[in-house]
Amino acid sequence: MPDRYAVIGHPVAHSRSPWIHAQFARATGEDIEYGAIDVPPAEFAHAVERFRSQSGKGLNVTLPFKLEAFRLCAETSARAAAAQAVNTLVLDRAHLYGDNTDGAGLVRDLTVNLGRPLAGERVLLLGAGGAAQGVLAPLAEAGAAGIVIANRTVPRAEALARRVPGAEACGFDALAGRSFRLVINATSAGLQGELPPLPPGLFGAGALAYDMVYGRDTEFLAMARAAGAATADGLGMLVEQAAESFLVWRGVRPETRAVLAALRAP
Ligand code: NAP
């Protein structure tokens, strides 16, 4: 019997994670099966327990459950504790254990796949939800300097900025007159075909605009392209966070290059 894993969220029908983990399993020879579990918001904790009682070994947690997953865990990794959000549950320990691989995935996509070193880079992070929470400390640890967090709900950005020394918080209007070489969109605006109200002139010379949303050309990426910035969607982050979760569960880090290339192939 293969070991059982799954992604859990609402909705998850669109998820590429089962396909990605199937490629990782084939490439590494690990005997796993990986499915998708869609649960209504009120039933998350119950669904985790049910999967665990059916000998499930691990879960990837996606929207909207990352914060609830953190609260459910009896023990977490340091990076999940810093994020106060969990995207990787380990079920075959005595206590429910949570980790967060989103930040490692983003940093690896930026630095390895996209060749953008973070040391000394001034970064604008748009959004203050679960995804922004997950990547803030890893960005700072990778050397990003003077991170600015801009969010629609400013107090949320302020609460997040207090977690990392030197981070600054503001609303979108306060970005007028400022420019950055790396702008990361961690809002979910692109999922609804929307764009945060960003002032012109945000993208400095040689800037990269990175949207965590993947699989669609968002308004944010279109705006950045029109302003002359290089652009990247979140597909690389998705594959890299999956590889990091695979490492947490199986003790082996799969190669990601071929999987990412296959996902990007027309
Ligand atoms: P979340 O916890 O629901 O947070 C959503 C964030 O987006 C909040 O900061 C919210 O602002 C902001 N927002 C939503 N609609 C907006 C709009 N129309 N204009 C401006 N701001 C808006 O979601 P999340 O977990 O952080 O996920 C955010 C996005 O990242 C999702 O699209 C998700 O798919 C993506 N993601 C991708 C990966 C990957 O591997 N590529 C990994 C994780 C997440 P308020 O605080 O004001 O509500």
130 with 27, same domain? no
118 with 16, same domain? no
CATH of residue 161: 3.40.50.720
pLDDT digits (tens, 9 = 90+) for 78-122: 999 999 999 999 999 999 999 999 999 999 999 999 999 999 999
Exactly one of 21, 66, 79, 108 is catalytic; which is it? 66
pLDDT digits (tens, 9 = 90+) for 176-228: 999 999 999 999 999 899 999 999 999 999 999 999 999 899 999 999 999 99
What's the length of the chain? Answer: 266
Closest CA to ligand 1's atom 6: 187
CATH of residue 57: 3.40.50.10860
Closest atom of ligand 1 to CA, residue 235: 41
Model-level pTM? 0.96
57 with 124, same domain? no
Model confidence band, residue 266 (pLDDT cutoffs 50, 70, 90): confident
Show the tokens assigned to 133.
């929470």
pLDDT digits (tens, 9 = 90+) for 137-173: 999 999 998 899 999 999 999 999 999 999 999 999 9
Give the integer Cα–Cα distance in Å for 224 and 215. Answer: 17
12 with 45, same domain? yes
Q: What amino acid occupies position 53?
A: S
60 with 37, same domain? yes
222 with 258, same domain? no
Q: CB neighbours of 259 closer than 8 A, spacing ≥ 6?
A: 20, 23, 24, 27, 239
Residue from 152, 221, 260 whose mutation best tests the ligand 1 pocket (most atoms within 8 A of CB): 152
Closest atom of ligand 1 to CA, residue 128: 9
226 with 108, same domain? yes
Show the CA angle centred on residue 73, arms to residues 129 and 153, nearest 5°. 15
Number of domains in the chain: 2
* Ligand 1 contact via 212 beta carbon (within 6 Å): yes
Active site residue 66: yes
38 with 49, same domain? yes
195 with 85, same domain? no
Query: Residue 117 is part of which domain span?
Result: 103-233
What's the pLDDT at 204?
A: 94
187 with 87, same domain? no
Q: Other C-beta atoms within 10 Å of 115: how many? A: 8
Comparing CA positions, the residue from 247, 244, 209, 253 lying closest to residue 105 is 244
Closest CA to ligand 1's atom 2: 129
pLDDT digits (tens, 9 = 90+) for 2-38: 999 999 999 999 899 999 999 999 999 999 999 999 9
93 with 137, same domain? no
39 with 121, same domain? no
Give the integer Cα–Cα distance in Å for 3 and 154. Answer: 43
H/E element, 247: helix 235-250
